[in-house]
Structure 1
């Protein structure tokens, strides 16, 4: 069983679909280049619709202190997702200044990328392991791309973690089985158009994630 995060919510009906489906996390994007980008006012309205017990995540990309201050002052966020090139020192600064748990997103394409996750062991509260964005891509995530899940087979991490990148209702169970991911994150994989979540796809994704079981002994082949 994996907990599901539905990221990039942009409308009340999308929040309702995610929470009705049983998502454990909902994500709001604060990145101007994304089709899922929200104003502070809109994000506050959507966050107010989230029932207690569901983690509200703010996705930011190399945001400075002023931007993070504005987000956290306006929106009742539970977890900050740093999805840029933030260093371990920067993650530690954000935690100390804003007194919120931090999930560091890390792009994965090679075994070396997996090994590099350990650099954040002492500072991040969670890891989000996503497909590394193609060279020149405007978005660091949400590109609908997967990486080779065999890179994570049998791996243990020092913090709770979440798998992202190219997940859909059709492949999430296989992804959990291959990686042992305790949590999974989806955005474009449950959309009918960029920024428009499909309620039926959301429901199927969360149900498949909850029903998924990790392979007993994942082996890297």
Structure 2
């Protein structure tokens, strides 16, 4: 049986990075968005990225990045994946992939069934999708708000579609999410924090423990 791909996102300290890697985490995420409590400068991300080395994949979360930022990320941080968490169009997703030469993960915010309509188009141009809870009205952050969405909206969604489930995941509910949806991957940030932007090593361990303890049906790897 294959465990879901786990990405611990919004890491800001070497201690937290090492805690994820000690548990065999296959991917870590850093955020470059000034309004986020998890925001890191390019230099700080580069230092943490160097510490990761080849031990895990590295994703950088951006929100409507311009070309200058993309170029700086490629030159300074050298991530494996650019995560787009803004209002990027499908054409922009395609352009980001072509400009950077990196894998691109596009976040799709979900609140109602109507929000699922965007999935096929983005699935055609992104290497992975991240299905996240739509931010509350007036929120400063497009993600990382610690809220789940109605998982029943994804009933019948093909488990072969390469998507990461996000939004309010914790050690307490991740087993239920896996049983109901069987996602390819799990993306967690606020659910392993003691306060906004501060990762809790005990909660990181508890999340990995909960995933390992949950029933895990066979999963297919992403096609792209």
Query: Above 0.5 in TM-score?
Result: yes
What is the count of residue pairs matched by the alignment? 216
1:170 maps to which of 163, 169, 172: 172
2:64 maps to which of 57, 62, 65: 62
| RMSD across aligned positions (CA) | 1.6
Give the distance between the partners of 2:136 and 2:57, measured in 1 at CA: 29
Alignment of 1:144-155 (within 5 A): 144-155=146-157
The answer on whether the counterparts of 1:3 and 1:210 sit within 8 Å (CA) in structure 2 is no
Give the distance between the partners of 2:214 and 2:184, measured in 1 at CA: 10
Partner of 1:208, secondary structure, is: helix
Partner of 2:193: 191
Partner of 2:5: 3
2:125 maps to which of 123, 126, 135: 123
Partner of 1:93: 95
Residue 90 of structure 1: how far off its partner (Å): 0.3
- Structure 2 unpaired stretches of 5+: 219-224
The answer on whether the counterparts of 1:19 and 1:51 sit within 8 Å (CA) in structure 2 is no
Partner of 1:142: 144
- Structure 1 unpaired stretches of 5+: 217-221
Distance 1:157 1:103, change over 3 A: farther
Give the distance between the partners of 1:73 and 1:125, measured in 2 at CA: 21
Alignment of 1:22-33 (within 5 A): 22-33=24-35
Q: What TM-score does the superposition give when structure 2 sets the normalisation length? A: 0.92
Partner of 1:44: 46
Give the distance between the partners of 1:183 and 1:140, measured in 2 at CA: 20
Give the distance between the partners of 1:179 and 1:205, measured in 2 at CA: 17
Give the distance between the partners of 2:203 and 2:123, measured in 1 at CA: 34
Q: What TM-score does the superposition give when structure 1 sets the normalisation length? A: 0.93
The answer on whether the counterparts of 1:153 and 1:180 sit within 8 Å (CA) in structure 2 is no
